Structure 1
Amino acid sequence: MSRHSAQFKRRVVKDYLSGRVGGSAEVARRHDIDHGTVRKWVAAWRLHGEAAFRKKFSHYDSRFKLKVLRLMVSKDLSCRQVAAVFDIRNPGVIGIWKRQYDSGGIQALEPRPRGRPVKQPKSSVPPDSTESDETRTKEELLAELNYLRMENAYLKKLDALIRSESPKAPRRKRR
């Protein structure tokens, strides 16, 4: 969530653009904010007008990120300047995109799956047993036998582990 309302940002920009007060440092001191923030808001206002202060929730695809990085390199712009041109609210993310691109190319800019990763890979599925045993080859039957033996051994070890943990100190009965 934004720290300052859109109305407050408009008031600061109008105050700066009126020219009555001297420079961004003076406007920042009057409104008790950082002078870099004033410059950023003024640049956004000049490029995008009223749309600069609307709420924006965006996810950028790899082509857009690459377009931003190419403009930054070709025009020799800073992250803050490129963010103002493309209306990206967090200029710091452009530096992250640049490091990702430098280390891994366009594939590094692709969005990653969100959420918690799967802890344990899914177990392998036993060979298809819908065919009758007479029609299957000897290798297929041996592969299924090996799979079933491994599964059986795993379940026996799991059962032994559960049994070894369950005997605890006997509880005393209350009187």
Structure 2
Amino acid sequence: MATQSAFGFLIDTIFNLYLMVILLRIWLQLVKADFYNPLAQFVVKATHPVVGPLRRIIPPLGSLDTASVLFAFVVACAKIAILLAMSGSQLNPQAIVIVGGLTLLKEVFQIVFWVLVIRAILSWVSQGYNPIEAALHQLTEPMLAPIRRILPSLGGLDLSVLVLLVALQFFQVLLFQQIL
């Protein structure tokens, strides 16, 4: 039983990390980030073997890459199906689709949270131009700029990341509390 939970942890972690990479691809495209950035290049190379052929079949909706969204959803559903099969539970397709969608939504909140935290930490220790920090800036600035317009300046201390993190956690708790 202990090895099954260890393998469950490993599978859960691998799927979550790859889901975050797929979601980063979607997010980078939505904000029209610089795709010559090393972080963006990694994300594209890690997801292109599946997303590339899917994009030929599934057209985008405006600036939303629907092929990547579908791929992320399929990966989330596969994660749930594998974890259920490992636990010996009945594989109910409707439950897998619903829980897969909720898993994907949870990972959206997680990736935004971690990108904000990493950006905040890098802003304290960065000594000049850093390509990863530049990509994180491109990802988060559309969310942080409106908060900065509302918050007063506190002598060079930027609390917009903290406000967004608290708001993000609030909405995540509120949403999942309503669902569950």
What TM-score results when the alignment is normalised by the length of structure 1? Answer: 0.26
What TM-score results when the alignment is normalised by the length of structure 2? Answer: 0.26
Q: Which has the larger radius of gyration?
A: 1
